[in-house]
Amino acid sequence: MAGYLAGRVFQAILALWFIATLVFALSRAAGDPAELFTANLAAPEAEEMMRERLGLDQPLYRQYVIYMGQLLQGDLGTSARSNVTVAQILRERMPATFSLALSAIAIAIIFSIPLGVLSAIYRDSPIDWIAKVVAFLGQSMPSFWLGLMLILLFAVILGWVSPAGKGGISSYLLPGFTLGWAAMAGIVRLMRSSMLDVLDSDYVTMARAKGLPEIMVMSKHALRNALIPVITYASLIFGAFMNGSVVIESVFAWPGIGRVALNSVLGRDFPVVQGVVIVFGAFFIIINLIVDILYAVIDPRIKYSR
Burial of 131 (0-12, 13-18, 19+ CB in 10 A): buried
- Does residue 111 surpass a pLDDT of 80? yes
For 9-54, how does the pLDDT look when each residue is reduced to its tens digit (9 = 90+)? 788 888 888 888 888 887 777 666 666 556 554 566 666 776 776 6
Q: What is the rounded distance in angstroms from the CA atom of residue 209 to the CA atom of residue 284? A: 42
Assign 67 a pLDDT band (cuts: 50, 70, 90): confident
Q: Per the domain annotation, does 117 fall within a domain?
A: yes
pLDDT at site 30: 62
**Strand partners for 85:** 78
Q: Per the domain annotation, does 142 fall within a domain?
A: yes
**Mean predicted lDDT score pLDDT of the chain:** 80
Q: Per the domain annotation, does 279 fall within a domain?
A: no
Question: For the chain, where are the E strands, in sequence order?
Answer: none
Q: What is the rounded distance in angstroms from the CA atom of residue 207 to the CA atom of residue 301? A: 16
Q: What is the rounded distance in angstroms from the CA atom of residue 25 to the CA atom of residue 43? A: 28
Q: Which of 20-24, 100-104, 223-227, 275-279 has the highest mean pLDDT?
A: 100-104
**Strand partners for 78:** 85
Q: Per the domain annotation, does 163 fall within a domain?
A: yes
- Does residue 62 surpass a pLDDT of 60? yes
Q: Per the domain annotation, does 207 fall within a domain?
A: yes
Q: Which of 79-88, 92-101, 282-291 has the highest mean pLDDT?
A: 92-101
pLDDT at site 244: 62
For 246-276, how does the pLDDT look when each residue is reduced to its tens digit (9 = 90+)? 788 888 888 888 778 877 877 777 778 888 8
* CATH label of the domain that carries residue 112: 1.10.3720.10
Calculate mean pLDDT across residues 117-137.
Answer: 87
Q: What is the rounded distance in angstroms from the CA atom of residue 203 to the CA atom of residue 146? A: 42
Q: Per the domain annotation, does 210 fall within a domain?
A: yes
Q: What is the rounded distance in angstroms from the CA atom of residue 113 to the CA atom of residue 228? A: 12
Q: Per the domain annotation, does 21 fall within a domain?
A: no
Domain count, the chain: 1
- Does residue 304 surpass a pLDDT of 60? no
- Provide the residue range defining the domain that includes 171: 93-257+284-298
Asked if 136 and 273 touch (Cβ cutoff 8 Å), the reply is no
Assign 302 a pLDDT band (cuts: 50, 70, 90): low
Please report which residue ranges of 200-269 form alpha helices under DSSP H: 202-209, 214-216, 224-242, 246-251, 258-266
Assign 202 a pLDDT band (cuts: 50, 70, 90): confident
